[in-house]
Amino acid sequence: MSVPKHSELFDYAKGAYFSDSFSREIPNTNQTALDVYLEIAKQTPVWVSFLMAARNRIVSMLGLKHLGRLQDVMLAESVASIGVGERIGIFTLHSNSDTEIVLEDSDKHLDVRVSFYWT
């Protein structure tokens, strides 16, 4: 699947060295794109958390950033309190609308942008 044309990342992905897209149908219960992301991140499997912890230990010794954990999203007091520019788990919230959030992180070796696009 390609990046949807109405996604904020559509033009950004054109010049990217690598891009990928994944789609999955989920029930619509009037949630926002941020709600969907937070629910997914909270359900991070234990093995992913273990690998992230190992990654953080190793790359910290190499001068790269310690990202934290995906499930650190649970530290937010409420969805309403999360603003653009704030950290949500391992990412920073770049933009937020009801239908799409864009999360990002940059380090010495790469720039990552992730979109949760809700239609």
Contact 19, 3 (CB under 8 A): yes
- Domain ranges within the chain, ordered by starting residue: 31-117
Q: What is the pLDDT of residues 23-72, one digit of tens each?
A: 888 888 888 888 888 888 888 888 988 888 888 888 888 887 777 766 66
**Of 56, 91, 50, which is closest to residue 73 (Cα–Cα)?**
91
The mean predicted confidence, pLDDT, of the chain is: 81
Q: With contact defined as beta carbons under 8 Å apart, do 93 and 82 qualify?
A: yes
Query: pTM value?
Result: 0.78
How far is residue 22's CA from residue 19's CA, in Å, rounded to a whole number? 11
